[in-house]
Amino acid sequence: IEAVPETGSTNADLLARLPAGELAGPVLRIADVQTAGRGRAGRPWLSAPGASLTFSLAWPFKGPLQRLAGLPLAVGVALAETVASLGVPVQLKWPNDLMKDGAKLAGILVETGTAPDGVLWAVIGCGMNLTMPDEMEARIGRAVSSAPWLARMDRDELVALLLSRLAAVLAEFDDTGFAPFRERWNALQAWRGQPVNILDHGAVRQQGLAAGVDDAGRLLLDTPAGTVAVLSGDVSLRLA
């Protein structure tokens, strides 16, 4: 476990160490604040000292790579169940966000790489808003949420609880893939049964009623033409 006061991105830090074979086993890197935190497709993830929990966990997997498509969802289950057990009920927005009171509380970013010995690694990043300074909310420019209740906890204790459930989920996921987590994910799904749009670079690509995910973590949409499965790729989900 590495704790640093500040870094650009904990995901970037760990990914940079992969090609040189510098990761011998799982590493958790946690920063009080990130100056270049990122979400999917290079979108920014903002944090502020004392207000945010930002960490990344590098973890080796048996693979194959395609199986890791469901990993962000399994990670979401681990984080959401932990946070809920601490008295903060949250929901999961496909594919990679934790929602509280209808707005984003935390984001998950999974990036992968291969070490020189051929081992497949995932670097699993999480940014969670403990509190939300007005100035940060203004910069994000959309509805966000925070969990002041968690902010009052001892940070090391909070991280330990998140990490222990996450490690258990990752070990199981490596053996089984996403399928055994499907019902747990569906039980926590945000916007279940509600009309949603799938946005691809800002344009509506698909519409339907949100109907859970399948065994691979694809979003199921009920449409007039039947049920369709949506791969995450770089698409965004919005309420219609």
State the Cα–Cα distance between residues 65 and 217, nearest whole angstrom. Answer: 14
- Smallest gap from residue 130 Cβ to ligand ATP (A): 10
In sequence order, the 6+-apart residues with CB closer than 8 A to the CB of 13 are 7, 29, 56
46 close to 140: Cβ distance less than 8 angstroms? yes
Out of 12, 26, 39, 192, name the contact with ligand ATP by CB under 6 A: 39
Is 67 catalytic? The answer is: no
Out of 13, 32, 97, 111, name the contact with ligand ATP by CB under 6 A: 97
Active-site option among 43, 152, 205, 238: 238
Is 238 catalytic? The answer is: yes
Out of 140, 187, 216, 228, name the contact with ligand ATP by CB under 6 A: 140
State the Cα–Cα distance between residues 186 and 169, nearest whole angstrom. Answer: 16
Q: Which is nearer to ligand ATP, 56 or 236 (CB)?
A: 236
Two tokens, residue 158: 């909070």
* Contact region with ligand ATP (CB under 6 A), list: 20-28, 79-87, 96-104, 169-177: 96-104
Q: Tell me: does residue 40 bind ligand ATP (CB under 6 A).
A: yes
State the Cα–Cα distance between residues 101 and 35, nearest whole angstrom. Answer: 27
Is 38 catalytic? The answer is: no
State the Cα–Cα distance between residues 125 and 110, nearest whole angstrom. Answer: 6
Q: Tell me: does residue 133 bind ligand ATP (CB under 6 A).
A: no
Which 8-state DSSP code applies to residue 35?
S
For ligand ATP, the nearest residue by Cβ is 39
* Contact region with ligand ATP (CB under 6 A), list: 8-16, 37-45, 56-64, 151-159: 37-45
Cβ neighbours around 93 below 10 Å, total: 25
- Smallest gap from residue 116 Cβ to ligand ATP (A): 29
Where is 187: in which H helix or E strand?
helix 182-187
Sort 184 into a burial class: Cβ within 10 Å, 0-12 / 13-18 / 19+.
middle
**Which residues are at the interface with ligand ATP (CB under 6 A)?**
39-40, 43-46, 96-97, 104, 107, 127, 129, 140, 142, 144, 236-237
- Which residues are known to be catalytic? 40, 104, 238
